[in-house]
Amino acid sequence: METGSTPPPLPTGPTYPPQAPYPPQAMPYATPVQGAQRTPAAGELGEAQKVFDTVAGPNVRVKDNLIQLACVVFGAGAGAVVGWTYGPPGVGVLIGVTVGLFVSLVLSGVVIGIVRFFTAVRKK
């Protein structure tokens, strides 16, 4: 700042955001376009789920996720029992749970694949 110059004037009052028009104006909506994409309704999973089922990706089917949860819980429990019975004390349970989780995770994918196969055959 130069010496002898005066600072800019300060605002005298609070500033408020601009007021919306009253009464509210009608919002213009776009009309639907012929052949436009729509979101899948309940029960429809869309094209993305087909890719997830055949290649990789998340699964949004509750039934599949419950099947996988049941398989993993059962596998972890079975691994804990086997590790406790045949493994070294203390560490055997940990090893059994870890192996049981891994094996049951892989097998749950097989179970879900079998369920999906029979579901597809029934639909035809």
Q: What is the pLDDT of residues 67-102, one digit of tens each?
A: 888 889 999 999 999 999 998 887 999 999 999 999
Encoded tokens for 78: 């079975």
The closest alpha carbon to 73, from 28, 108, 37, 115, belongs to 108
Cβ atoms of 90 and 112 within 8 Å: the answer is no
Amino acid 82: pLDDT:
92
Band (pLDDT 50/70/90 cuts) for residue 108 is confident
Structure pTM?
0.51
Put residue 43 in one of left, alpha, beta given phi > 0 → left and psi -120 to 50 → alpha: left
pLDDT greater than 80 at residue 2: no
Spatial separation of the C-alpha atoms in residues 45 and 60, rounded to whole Å:
8
Q: What is the pLDDT of residues 6-56, one digit of tens each?
A: 777 766 766 777 777 677 777 676 666 665 555 555 445 666 666 666 666
The closest alpha carbon to 105, from 61, 60, 74, belongs to 74
The closest alpha carbon to 58, from 68, 66, 49, belongs to 49
Burial of 114 (0-12, 13-18, 19+ CB in 10 A): exposed
Contacts of 46 (CB under 8 A, 6+ apart): 40
pLDDT greater than 60 at residue 120: yes
Q: Pick 19 or 118 by higher pLDDT.
A: 118
Encoded tokens for 34: 């012929």
